[in-house]
Structure 1
Amino acid sequence: MTMLTLVWYFTICTLLCQSIVFGQRIVAVGDIHGDYHRMLTILKFSGIVDDDAHWAGGDTIFVQTGDIVDRGDDTIKLYQLIQKLQEEAPLHGGQVVSLLGNHEIMNLSGDWRYVSEHDIQIFGGVEERKKAFAPEGWIGRDLVEKNLTAKVGTSVFVHGGIHPSFAQEGVEGINLKTRQTILDYVESRGRHDPYKVFGGHGPTWYRGYALDDGNICSILDEALDLLEADRMVMGHTVQRDGMIHTRCGGKAVLIDIGISHVYGGHFGALEIVGDELTALYRDGRRRLLVDRGRPKMIHQEL
């Protein structure tokens, strides 16, 4: 392990492995997929930003679980907003934790299957968009420094889900392997993935806790024990009714509600304060109830 890697390792532990004050507010939002208007509306009614889109969350920790990009057209505005809030939040005692989703990784590695033509035009063409998503570009250099997962208090946040085979590495280990390999993965256009951290069973793709039945809750318990966490909060699998759902006695929390107009344009965020989980919607707050059934979804596309 190089000195640079060691410095990075202890830096992410300081930022993402720290304990929070019990009762400190956490707000999490799932997949956005290129819809700036709905994202901004959610941030406003959740108390994260003011009417001018500046940080208004105080010491709130705001978590976005990836897939900001693709399908919609607002890539530039969304990444500009996230980067601005990352700078503003610490000035008020808050923090923005922005994680990688599978679509961020796809865009970094040149997989643009879900990029709209209009989005490309807004960038000024294909070459300008490539420059922005390159590791040295204004979006790319931010993305290659992001993590796949974060533990905030007793909750683990991730885009897809963390199977025990990855959970045994711990949050720090998963992020360390991400940082060690992401540049080679991008340069090889997705072919170099020695730890399979970006693969179909990896943390940005795994859907088991959202879709599988049988002993899936036992598998989740094993993962949470390894991660020393109470629950896992995940995006990636769209909930058809636009509502946040829980499974496995509230240990799996599914927050991809289809925010983008492409998926129905729903508005909502998750709030965690202490041991209480609340869904925040435009029409009010709803305490999350335990849902042991199979959640509804739109489909299983990328």
Structure 2
Amino acid sequence: MPVDSTLKAASLCLTGILALQAPTVQAQTEQDTNAETQASTNSRISDGPYLFLNPKAERADWICKGEHKQTRVNQGKLSRPEHCGQLPEPSLNPQAKEVLADEYQGVDKIVALSDVHGQYEVLIQLLRQHKIIDQKNNWAFGKGHMVMTGDMFDRGPRVNEVLWFMYKLDKQAKAAGGQLHLLMGNHEQMVMRGDLRYVNDKYQTASRLLDRSYDALYGQDSELGQWLRSKHTIVKINDTLFLHGGISQEWVDRELTLAKANRLYRENIDKSKAELKQDEQLNFLFFGNGPTWYRGYFKPDFDIQELANILDYFKIKRIVVGHTSQTRVLGLFDNRVVAIDSSIKKGLSGELLLIEKDQLIRGQYDGTQTRL
């Protein structure tokens, strides 16, 4: 073969080899870039504290700029490590896991909000504007009752801060003669049973460094996990029922009571979806038309007689629900249903509901209050 032909053939062969290698090299470069980006992101993440109680609650776990650190628990106080941002430094509450009553009467003022989904800054701003907390984020609502109708978990980046903040308010409210009612929503239930589809990417770092799945960070052996598992799903205060999704006619047909339902939720919240669906009653409570998923009030074909049946069954004037997103606190059916999911989860603003002497008041993000 002539020399020119040989060189030409070699050149074509080399070009083909390079062409085959190019995608591999490019893919490897993209992987390296993604890994570097992820490492850089992880190095900025701070999270915690996480306190596990088995065998002893002697040390708290923290993530400080992507590194796992521990501090000693000193007389019930959790102090964060140096250079770990402004993470919560909670004091433990020996009464945190007490199970509260299902019904309350004679409460003069109530505040309710819902679906915070890890948006800590919006939550704090909203509560400060309406003087539920002071400028140092301590309880300022006196003997009033505050109701959070579920969905603190998932989506947003500061779920743990929200939880420890609510944990603190739980203690402070009771000390002032008031009460915090922290109700379980469908996203609390999802996380507890290991359904982690909506968890913010940030928490993958904590899960990896602590060598626990995200749901196990709030397991039965953790301080926050035990606290959450003591909470109700539904509460009745004066003439108002509070819950996450809504009460359907099926509840009335089943002749369920608040006490029984709340007990079943607490006892079964760690069961898998498959286990829950094997039991007819648990299948209703945890899914479908159950109180944490129901959206019937917002459908155009909703039967107003069904609402009348429900109000009569509970001997109440109204039902307050979250779960179904609105742009504001909204009254339906002459305020017999009040929707309080004001889209706080978007992280931009939000509203709350105030009930004072049977007056329903929209508490807006700038502190303005208007009758509903």
Residue number among 195, 214, 218 corresponding to 2:305 in the alignment: 218
* CA contact 1:38–1:259 (8 Å) conserved in 2: yes
Residue number among 270, 273, 292 corresponding to 1:204 in the alignment: 292
2:140 matched residue in structure 1: 56
2:358 matched residue in structure 1: 275
2:185 matched residue in structure 1: 101
Q: 1:114 to 1:216 in 2, by over 3 A?
A: same
* CA contact 2:196–2:214 (8 Å) conserved in 1: no
Quote how far apart the aligned CAs of 1:104 are: 0.3
* CA contact 2:329–2:341 (8 Å) conserved in 1: yes
Q: 1:217 to 1:274 in 2, by over 3 A?
A: farther
Residue number among 25, 28, 31 corresponding to 2:112 in the alignment: 28
2:124 matched residue in structure 1: 40
Quote how far apart the aligned CAs of 1:187 are: 8.9
* CA contact 2:102–2:232 (8 Å) conserved in 1: no
2:175 matched residue in structure 1: 91
Write the distance in 2 (CA, Å) between the matches of 1:198 and 1:27: 26
Write the distance in 2 (CA, Å) between the matches of 1:52 and 1:224: 39
Write the distance in 2 (CA, Å) between the matches of 1:89 and 1:142: 16
> 4+ residue runs of structure 1 moved beyond 3 angstroms?
122-126, 186-194
Deviates further, 141-150 or 196-205: 141-150
TM-score normalized by the length of structure 1: 0.83
Quote how far apart the aligned CAs of 1:139 are: 2.7
Residue number among 251, 257, 264 corresponding to 2:336 in the alignment: 251
* CA contact 1:267–1:281 (8 Å) conserved in 2: yes
Aligned partner letter, 1:174: A
After superposition, where does 1:1-302 map in structure 2 within 5 Å? 15-21=101-107, 24-122=108-206, 124=209, 127=212, 129-167=214-252, 168-183=255-270, 185-186=271-272, 191=277, 193-195=279-281, 196=283, 197-209=285-297, 211-239=298-326, 242-261=327-346, 265-283=348-366, 284-288=368-372
TM-score normalized by the length of structure 2: 0.68
Q: SS at the partner of 2:286?
A: coil
Q: 1:138 to 1:208 in 2, by over 3 A?
A: same
* CA contact 1:234–1:256 (8 Å) conserved in 2: yes
Q: 1:250 to 1:118 in 2, by over 3 A?
A: same
* CA contact 1:109–1:190 (8 Å) conserved in 2: no
Unaligned segments of structure 1, at least 5 residues? 1-10, 289-302
Write the distance in 1 (CA, Å) between the matches of 2:350 and 2:267: 36
Aligned partner letter, 1:19: Q
Larger Cα-atom Rg: 2
Q: Which has the higher contact order (CA 8 A, sep 6+)?
A: 1
Unaligned segments of structure 2, at least 5 residues? 1-97
Q: How many positions carry a matched residue from both structures?
A: 269
Write the distance in 1 (CA, Å) between the matches of 2:138 and 2:302: 44
Q: 1:215 to 1:189 in 2, by over 3 A?
A: closer
Quote how far apart the aligned CAs of 1:227 are: 1.2
Aligned partner letter, 2:199: V
Quote how far apart the aligned CAs of 1:54 are: 1.0
* CA contact 2:193–2:269 (8 Å) conserved in 1: no
> What is the RMSD of the two structures over their aligned residues, measured on CA atoms?
2.1
Identity %: 30
* CA contact 1:245–1:254 (8 Å) conserved in 2: yes
Write the distance in 2 (CA, Å) between the matches of 1:126 and 1:260: 28
Quote how far apart the aligned CAs of 1:143 are: 2.1
Quote how far apart the aligned CAs of 1:246 are: 1.1
Write the distance in 2 (CA, Å) between the matches of 1:108 and 1:273: 35
